[in-house]
Amino acid sequence: MIKVGIIGSTGYAGAEIVRLIQGHKEAEVVWYGSRSYIDENYSNIYGNFFELVDAKCMDDNMDELAKKADVIFTATPQGLCASLVNEDILSKTRIIDLSADFRLKDVSVYEKWYKIEHKAPQYIEEAVYGLCEINRDKVKNARIVANPGCYTTCSILTAYPLIKEGLIDTDTLIVDALSGVSGAGRGAKVANLYCEVNESAKPYGVASHRHTPEIEEQLSYAAGKEMVINFTPHLVPMNRGILATEYASLTMKDGSLPTKEDIRAAYEKYYKNEKFIRLLPDGVYPETRWVEGSNFVDIGFKIDERTKRVIMMGTIDNLVKGAAGQAVQNMNIMFGLDETMGLSMVPLFP
């Protein structure tokens, strides 16, 4: 059995890791870390684990945890993982970090967008960006995996094949994305109160959201050149889900624009054998309700003949494929297991 430690186990993403590991045949949680609830029964915090988890919350002592766990998930705010990790810890265990501490390769970009000093820049270069469908070969032997963000996972996977195949003009890419409220975390914030969110939708982080450089960096690798995009996130009154709608001008090739057959062929080239990416039929578009509670990514597209643009649409559950599910998928890759282990649940509906 893979011994799992979780720091930040009482946040939404941490609790989702606990839920997924409960259904995993080859892993067990040995450390429920939570700075806010030390010595409290885990099932008292999340009643859905009543009579399923008989353990108390522990602290975030990563040095001690490294002696007990084969892998540590850090589902914590930016800065904590980088402040705790060291060579002694990495000699004993492997880390899957759900924060942004090791996602960006340029420390100055990280510090600019996240407004904090990076405490472990020496590990940035070796850390692997854990977007499983693109970097699984690098994930296998990684000591540190930087688990991608929810907006970024959805936005990157939705556009990646078309950028990789040169079917769209990368200078024209615009990403509009909607998120459920759980994406903001479990902390008490006025902006996330029921009366503030219900019956409303709003853009936020306009031209300034900190997932922007992460999307740009990863898509730049696909394009083979630096990319700059417009990314606008929106908060909508639902618990879970990300829906990304992306727009880009089609690129002329051999005197003609790509057809819908060309677009579909590009998606199938990269995703045909991907168990968690579902390319929808023509005329069917992604809906958050059809991926809720699952590790699936649903993708659809439409060519707008009038504007000569393609509209790409993708949806995920922000807490599963956008956080905990992808983290468990990364763990499966790291330990040579079937990627679907613990992740084969059918989406919830209603």
Q: Is residue 327 part of a domain?
A: no
Give me the CATH number covering residue 208.
3.30.360.10
* Cβ(327)–Cβ(98) below 8 Å: yes
Q: How many domains does the chain have?
A: 2
Range of the domain at 187: 151-318
Domain end among 91, 126, 161: 126
Q: Is residue 139 part of a domain?
A: no
Neighbour order of strands in the sheet with 242-249: 202-203, 230-235, 174-179, 242-249, 309-316, 297-304, 277-279
C-alpha triplet 248, 250, 255: angle, nearest 5°: 165
C-alpha triplet 288, 290, 292: angle, nearest 5°: 65
Give me the CATH number covering residue 16.
3.40.50.720
Q: Is residue 274 part of a domain?
A: yes
Q: So what's the pLDDT on residue 254?
A: 85
Mean pLDDT, range 296-323, rounded to an integer: 98
Q: How many beta carbons lie within 10 A of that of residue 37, not counting itself? A: 17
Q: So what's the pLDDT on residue 84?
A: 96
Distance CA 37, CA 8 (A): 10
Q: What is the DSSP string of 60-72?
A: --HHHHTTT-SEE
196, 294: one domain: yes
Distance CA 245, CA 261 (A): 20
pLDDT bracket for residue 215 (50, 70, 90): very high
Q: So what's the pLDDT on residue 9?
A: 98
43, 186: one domain: no
Q: How many beta carbons lie within 10 A of that of residue 60, not counting itself? A: 20
**Which residues sit opposite 126 in a β-bridge?**
none
Q: Is residue 330 part of a domain?
A: no
Residue 308 has pLDDT above 90, yes or no: yes
Q: Is residue 308 part of a domain?
A: yes
Residue 197 has pLDDT above 90, yes or no: yes
255, 190: one domain: yes
C-alpha closest to that of 215 among 233, 201, 198: 233
Q: Which residues are known to be catalytic?
A: 150
167, 103: one domain: no
Residue 188 has pLDDT above 90, yes or no: no
61, 200: one domain: no
* Cβ(192)–Cβ(237) below 8 Å: no
Structure tokens given for 191: 């902006």
73, 171: one domain: no
| Percentage of residues in the chain having pLDDT higher than 90 | 97
C-alpha triplet 324, 221, 240: angle, nearest 5°: 25
* Cβ(73)–Cβ(327) below 8 Å: yes
Q: How many beta carbons lie within 10 A of that of residue 116, not counting itself? A: 14
Residue 70 has pLDDT above 90, yes or no: yes
C-alpha closest to that of 99 among 62, 148, 138: 148
* pTM of the predicted model over 0.95: yes
Lowest mean pLDDT among 173-182, 249-258, 264-273: 249-258
33, 155: one domain: no
Instruction: Indicate the residue type of 213.
Output: P
Q: Is residue 339 part of a domain?
A: no
| Percentage of residues in the chain having pLDDT higher than 70 | 100
pLDDT in tens, 110-131: 999 999 999 999 999 999 999 9
pLDDT bracket for residue 253 (50, 70, 90): confident
